[in-house]
Amino acid sequence: MSVVKSRRSPHNFETPRKLRQIRKAITEMGINGFGYDKERYEARIQKFADSITNFERKDEIVASMREKNKAYYSNFLHEEIVITRDIMRKVICEFEIGNSIWPSGLAKVAEFRERRVHLDECIGWLHAIKQELQYIAEILPVDKNKYANISNEIEQAINMVKGVRRDANKFLKNKDT
């Protein structure tokens, strides 16, 4: 008799696969400039240009603003690619370390706690990547709706890691054996 997928707990390999999918999606977002939208950028510049009251130097001021923004966004994108890559590397590393600790023997409780610490770190880094993506969406001229899917994926991953952590409680229940 088979159990409907929605009623069973995630398989051991689903959580690491989900984390790798998120890492890949964020890497692709970085390669594509995190959804940097030139039309939205131009709208920001136009809004700035409309607010200028010095009509004699308007073109010069707008050109200067374009140069500053171009340099800023270029540097910002590069930094965010590095930051998000490092965070996702830590997410996967903490999960793999925590998941590789299999409490047994005399040090079962200590190993359980060590496992839990790493899984908690993984959850913390997942929250950090979510906040970083939210910051990117606020700073860059992007379509914020494109970030909704990855945000939902991160929430699912957080819940999956919590499930792995919850499943690890069986080690403490059976600590006498």
Region 42-64 average pLDDT: 82
CA 173 vs CA 112, 168, 169: distances in Å: 11, 9, 7
Query: How many alpha carbons lie under 13 Å from residue 22 in its C-beta half-sphere?
Result: 32
Q: What is the pLDDT of residue 80?
A: 94
Q: Which of 9-18, 135-144, 167-176 has the lowest mean pLDDT?
A: 167-176
Q: Which of 32-36, 87-91, 93-97 has the lowest mean pLDDT?
A: 32-36
Q: Which of 2-16, 27-41, 130-144 has the lowest mean pLDDT?
A: 2-16
Average pLDDT value for the chain:
85
Statement: residue 61 has pLDDT above 70: yes
Which residues are CB-neighbours of 25 under 8 A, at least 6 positions away? 150, 153
DSSP 68-133: HHHHHHHHHHHHHHHHHHHHHHHHHHHHHHHHH----GGGHHHHHHHHHHHHHHHHHHHHHHHHHH
Region 50-76 average pLDDT: 83
Q: What is the pLDDT of residue 126?
A: 97
Task: Decide if 116 contacts 147 (C-beta within 8 A).
Answer: no
| Residue (of 155, 161, 148) closest to 16 by Cα position | 161
